[in-house]
Amino acid sequence: MNNRYKILVVEDEANIRNFVMTLLEANDYQAIGASSCREAQLMFLSHRPDLVILDLGLPDLDGTTFLKEIRKESNTPVIVLSARSDETDKVYALDIGANDYVTKPFGSAEFVARVRSALRSTQLSGSNANLPGGKFESDGLMIVYDSRQVLIDGVEIKLTQTEYNILALLSKHPGKVLTYSFIIKSIWGYDDYGSTKKLQVNMANIRKKFGAKPGKKNYIFNELGVGYRMCEPNEA
Ligand code: CA
């Protein structure tokens, strides 16, 4: 009986695929590989992996085609591998359901941290955020959803309705990059010219109220040109 997480690595470049698979095995995950979209589809159905690492540039079909198929039937976390030139593809992949992305070339430690976080996010998706008494807690930050209160080290931070809504949304998807467009549509219901600016202004205000300073704990990470990511909650 094998209880290790099974991870499907879809990448056509053999050296990158082997590097990723070796890295995963070294960290006690079980890695299986596919070098094309078609092969990945078959592997996904027969192996039911716990996580998929997906290169977007595949020889037969675009990786996003496979991602859409996965999302039709499951919440299996997907981390997209993209080249630096694929900025638009990366945002598109997040918008259609990728949990995270890693830009090539990437470091081993960062990659393994993303894998761990994506696997944890599926366990957290059934978390208590929407239940009565639901809270988010991470390193001194506490969000109390019922009363819409935000505290840092026990001191209440006064946020506007919009600022609170943005923070609550991010905290309900900890560790996951939410794209500008996803946040904007969730908060304002529409995405028009100037929306990104509006979001950035609100985020700047939240950070200011949080007292974000170099060297201080950052609760919200800015993924430049893509979106924002909330830190992970403390282990319960
Ligand atoms: Ca490729």
Taken in order 105, 108, 111, 115, is the CA torsion positive or negative?
positive
CA 117 to ligand 1 center in whole angstroms: 24
C-beta of residue 50 within 8 angstroms of C-beta of residue 76: yes
SS3 67: helix
Centroid of ligand 1 to alpha carbon of 43 (angstroms): 18
Contact 49, 76 (CB under 8 A): yes
Q: Tell me the CA–centroid distance for residue 133 and ligand 1, in Å.
A: 46
**C-alpha 1 – ligand 1 centre gap (Å):** 34
Q: Note the residue count of the chain.
A: 236
Cα–Cα dist 201/53, whole Å: 34
Q: How far is the CA of 13 from the centre of ligand 1 (A)?
A: 6
For 149-183, b where at least 16 C-beta lie within 10 A, e where not — what string?
ebebeeeebebeebbbbbbbbbbbbbbbbbbbbbb
> Which ranges in the chain belong to alpha helices (H)?
14-26, 37-47, 63-73, 87-95, 108-124, 161-171, 180-188, 195-210
Q: Which two tokens stand for residue 205?
A: 């205000």
User: Residue 79's pLDDT is what?
Assistant: 96
| pLDDT reported for residue 225 | 86
State the distance from the centre of ligand 1 to the C-alpha of 36, rounded, in angstroms.
9
* Ligand 1 centroid – CA 58 distance (Å): 5
- Output the pLDDT for position 167: 96
Residue 214: predicted pLDDT: 61
**Distance from residue 52's CA to the centre of ligand 1 (Å):** 15
Residue 20 CA to ligand 1 centre (angstroms): 13
What is the DSSP secondary structure assignment for residue 36, as one 8-state letter?
S
Could you tell me which of 25, 34, 35, 77 has the C-alpha nearest to residue 59?
35
- Tell how far the Cα of 27 is from the centroid of ligand 1, in angstroms: 24
pTM comes to: 0.76
Residue pLDDT tens, the chain, 236 long: 456 999 999 999 999 999 999 999 999 999 999 999 999 999 999 999 999 999 999 999 999 999 999 999 898 999 999 886 667 888 899 999 999 999 888 999 999 999 998 988 766 554 555 666 789 999 899 999 999 999 999 999 999 999 999 999 999 988 889 999 999 999 998 878 889 999 999 999 999 999 866 666 789 998 888 999 999 888 65
Q: How far away, in angstroms, is 173 Cα from ligand 1 center?
A: 28
Which two structure tokens, joined as six digits, stand for 56? Answer: 């977007």
Give the C-alpha separation, 82 to 206, whole Å.
Answer: 30
